[in-house]
């Protein structure tokens, strides 16, 4: 790579007339034919692992079925790769069911077992159906950014 004969800075072949650093005229020695092509100095970054990435395509029908039947377990989220959201859905389902069960078991129905259990499960099922309809309509991509087909 050529250097300016006055300041010693590295210059390109486009800087034949004036040095961009010190401003001297004709910074390259006529004796030396060494020039630097600016296109050779810039290198592009390419990762070898990006070339062979295999992406699993997820189906919208499978996602909706998982959400309808196993949405309270967050299986649709795990299917699409949203692990944190799946864990949150499991926690929300447990808290909703246990909260309603305790509310109806201790406060309202005076410790009868079957009725609070049915109310807790039906509320969980209703929440699951509403949420799966919302998710089925709204969600377009999986966790890796690939569109759901």
pLDDT at 84: 92
pLDDT at 47: 53
Helix axes 114-138, 83-102, angle to 10 degrees: 150
pLDDT at 50: 52
The CA-based angle 2-40-15, given to 5 degrees, is 40
pLDDT at 87: 92
| pTM, rounded to two decimals | 0.55
Residues 6+ apart with CB under 8 A from 93: 72, 73, 74, 124, 127, 128
Q: Average pLDDT for consecutive 10-residue bins of the chain (149 residues)?
A: 79 79 78 54 53 72 86 87 89 84 71 74 82 80 84
- Which CB contacts under 8 angstroms, 24+ apart, belong to 101-108? none
Tell me the two tokens of residue 116: 């609070």
pLDDT at 46: 54
pLDDT at 83: 92
């Amino acid at each position: 790579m050529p250097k300016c004969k006055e300041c010693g800075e590295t210059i390109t072949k486009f800087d034949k007339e004036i040095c961009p650093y010190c401003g001297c005229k004709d910074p390259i020695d006529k004796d030396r034919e060494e020039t630097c092509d600016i296109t050779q100095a810039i290198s592009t970054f390419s990762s070898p692992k990006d070339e062979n990435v295999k992406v699993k395509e997820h189906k919208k029908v499978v996602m909706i079925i998982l959400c309808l039947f196993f949405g309270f377990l967050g299986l649709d989220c795990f299917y699409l790769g949203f692990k944190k959201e799946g864990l949150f859905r499991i926690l929300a389902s447990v808290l909703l069911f246990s909260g309603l069960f305790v509310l109806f078991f201790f406060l309202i129905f005076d410790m009868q077992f079957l009725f609070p259990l049915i109310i807790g499960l039906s509320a969980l099922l209703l929440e699951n159906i509403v949420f799966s309809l919302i998710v089925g309509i709204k969600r377009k991509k999986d966790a890796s950014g690939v569109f759901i087909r």
